[in-house]
Structure 1
Amino acid sequence: MINLHFFPSKRIAFYMARLFITRSAAVLVALVAILMILDLLGNSGKILAHPENGNAELWRYVSLRIPGLIQRFLPFSALLGALITLAGLNQNSEIISMKAAGISAHQIIAPLILAAGLIALVHFAFQERVVTRATAALSAWDAVDYGAVPPDSNVVANVWLSHGDDLIRVDRVTGRGDGVRLTGVIVADRAGGTIRRRLLADSGRYLPGRGWELTNVRLFDLETNQLQRLPSTIWGAGIEPDQFTLAQVDPNRLTFLQLRETITQVAATNRSTATLESNLWHKLASPFSTLLMPLLAAIAAFGLARSGQLFMRAVIGMALGFAYFVADNFALAMGNLGAYPPFLAAWGPFLLFLLVGEAVLIRTEE
């Protein structure tokens, strides 16, 4: 008699979910540890190059970098955890025993999908509460070359802006609203596409209604080859502070609600928001991609282990998972370029591989 319940017995469901969660966690710890060591080896020289930095700063870097690694590799760890779990159950003939008891393939996978859903919720909460803050702090620290971070943590580095024909580059932007401060200002004054003058200033502050007061200004005229030095000057009338603060928005530093608000602000300046909208939807799609992993790994659960094809089935399951991550990154890149609509760029790969995984599972069950 066929079991018509969506889940198998509570004991089997809890047993399989526990195996999946513990194995996924073990894979995640191993991956993050290895990647963190490699990342630290590559960046420790830059951190210790600052004369006041030492071991404490290295540990600070580790604490700020680990949340990002966990956020990025949690779905991949779930894939490997599901493959290890299902291959082990197949190897020990536990899958055959379940099917002999009338439990279908979908019922066997159901506990893993439920556990993956719980992981996805934790992943999303972790991303919103921990990863965004750690990424913002690490970016602000990196912007000052791992030195002392200014009291205002709203630091954006290497900002480019166009104003009319002029090109503007700012090494560092701090603050918000009328309190925005610029550090390392370079202005290419162009006319007809040709640079006529080049302005450099150490710092700048916003004067409402007047423009920007730049200090320690060097003005080089390319036509006369003359250099003029000024202690200060007023420049950039009509350039609002939010044009600098919104010129380079890092979605990884913002929560879902903050990014949605930023999109509204950018749209009010008549600028394209396709890239930000793609990343907004991806903040949901990325954590919930964990739901796909047991389905893509399910091919390793079925088929006789003694047939010698268990390893090949596990490889196929891993290949499906890798294909999803490649398709996800490709679609997000296309969304950032405006080639795909934002919703399709974020959720298209998820829906596609949901159908692929379901088709493989049905075919395997037959």
Structure 2
Amino acid sequence: MTLALLSPSRLRLPRLGRIERYVLIQQLRSLGVALAVISALVMLIDFVEVSRGVGSDQDLSALRILGLVALKSPSVIVQLLPFVFLFGTLAAYIGLNRRSELVAMRAAGVSAWRFVLPAAGMALVLGVLTVTVLGPLASAGDGLWQRERARISGTAPGASSNDAIWLREGDDQRQMIIRAGRQDRANARLLDVTFFIYTTDAEGNRDFSERIDARSAALSAGRWRLTDAVGASIGQRAVTYSSLDLLSSLADEEAFERFARPQSTPFWSLPNQIQRIEDAGFASTAYRLRFQQLLVTPLVFAAMSILAAAFSLRLMRLGDLAKMSVAAVVLGFAFFFLNQFSSAMGSAEVVPPFVAAWLPPILTALAAFTLLFYTEDG
């Protein structure tokens, strides 16, 4: 009997009726229009910015600038997708209201939950696709844009850099802080290097052990090869080495690669990036915050969709189209500023990254559900 109840023929997902499918199609069309408008505005602004910045220095052609914009703009567009769902859903339901189609649906006894919840489910699915597919592509494009801008400006990663480089590595017994005045990537070396070596006792206390200055240091096969080095320990005379090897836990490329920005790191690479940064002894708060913000993206899309739908349903009863539309837009921007403020608090480690990322979307979703309950059920 139990097996019969659990058979595939009985376990069927609820099908969408004609009304739900019709509303979803109208919403998808409006989302497409909103996405096209926002994308055009972003690309136009980026085109002007790139033309005045990188383009003015190297006299790039319009086609070349357009290619750079195509790399730069997707990451900005992905960040603005919540507004696409807000404006697109609002436009879809306003259109249904103007054609009196929502009035007819409600007069026929159709509950608003029948077409609002499928729309929210669609927003969740699109959010998952954005995080897992579109987001990584946009992050890869942003990384290419950063490298192309550096190359065009004459500060390509392959050239020698005059910026000081700081690294940290070690284990439970020893910690090394490494400072290099310059890097020579062509020969895979750090130049004008100083190693500060600390030892860790059984209680976890770190004591300064030795300082080593070297003209250059090359990382290969788990060892630092120091050239023209001078080492000095506490209470001892300095010792000169023509060549000195130190064990290292860093991968060969980590001594020369700077960590990518959180926005340039794809979703699938963030966990490994966070681990690498923490192993190197740096703070990973910004990357943890970015990871949590990506995880909560589907909830943001669904909350914006429900919020816009709730205001559109009130239009039918109150008859004040302009007032309620402005209120929905104001609430959308309020969410944006709340999210930015919460992100700043999370980056400053005032609140944990999990709280900073999840609190604004949860509050927005609760507000949307509250308004929808009040509008639909009184």
Give the TM-score normalised by structure 1.
Answer: 0.73
1:46 aligns with 2:56: no
Aligned residue among 121, 134, 140 for 1:127: 134
* Matches of 1:205 and 1:55, distance apart in 2: 43
Deviation at residue 260 of structure 1 after TM alignment: 0.5
Aligned residue among 16, 19, 22 for 2:26: 19
Deviation at residue 338 of structure 1 after TM alignment: 1.0
> Percent identical across equivalent pairs?
24
* Matches of 1:182 and 1:87, distance apart in 2: 62
- Look up the SS of the partner of 2:109 in the other structure: coil
- Look up the SS of the partner of 1:245 in the other structure: coil
Tell me which amino acid in the other structure corresponds to 1:263: I
Match in the other structure for 1:303? 314
Match in the other structure for 1:322? 333
Residues 165, 281 of structure 1: CA spacing in aligned structure 2 closer, same or farther, 3 A cutoff? closer
* Matches of 2:184 and 2:88, distance apart in 1: 43
Q: RMSD over aligned Cα, in angstroms?
A: 4.0
Residues 42, 249 of structure 1: CA spacing in aligned structure 2 closer, same or farther, 3 A cutoff? closer
Q: Deviations over 1:52-79 (max 9, x none)?
A: 7423421221221232232122221111
Structure number with larger C-alpha Rg: 2
Deviation at residue 305 of structure 1 after TM alignment: 4.2
Deviation at residue 319 of structure 1 after TM alignment: 1.7
Residues 286, 356 of structure 1: CA spacing in aligned structure 2 closer, same or farther, 3 A cutoff? same
Tell me which amino acid in the other structure corresponds to 2:302: L
Q: Deviations over 1:223-263 (max 9, x none)?
A: xxxxxxxxxx999x8996636635x4412222223110121
Contact 1:293 1:321 in 2 (8 A): yes
1:104 aligns with 2:119: no
* Matches of 1:99 and 1:173, distance apart in 2: 71
1:206 aligns with 2:218: yes
* Matches of 1:41 and 1:138, distance apart in 2: 15
Deviation at residue 266 of structure 1 after TM alignment: 2.0
Q: Deviations over 1:79-129 (max 9, x none)?
A: 100111112222222222222222223223123212212321331233344
Structure 2: tracts of 5 or more residues without a match: 1-12, 169-175, 195-214, 229-241
Contact 1:65 1:135 in 2 (8 A): yes
Structure 1: tracts of 5 or more residues without a match: 1-5, 188-200, 214-232
Residues 338, 289 of structure 1: CA spacing in aligned structure 2 closer, same or farther, 3 A cutoff? same
Tell me which amino acid in the other structure corresponds to 1:48: G
Match in the other structure for 1:95? 102
- Look up the SS of the partner of 1:118 in the other structure: helix
Contact 1:7 1:108 in 2 (8 A): no
Tell me which amino acid in the other structure corresponds to 2:105: M
* Matches of 1:169 and 1:296, distance apart in 2: 53
- Number of aligned residue pairs: give it: 322
Give the TM-score normalised by structure 2.
Answer: 0.71
Deviation at residue 16 of structure 1 after TM alignment: 1.0
Residues 156, 339 of structure 1: CA spacing in aligned structure 2 closer, same or farther, 3 A cutoff? farther
- Look up the SS of the partner of 1:339 in the other structure: coil
Superposition pairs for residues 138-287 of structure 1, below 5 Å? 138-146=145-153, 161=166, 180=188, 206-207=218-219, 208-211=223-226, 242=254, 245=257, 248-287=259-298
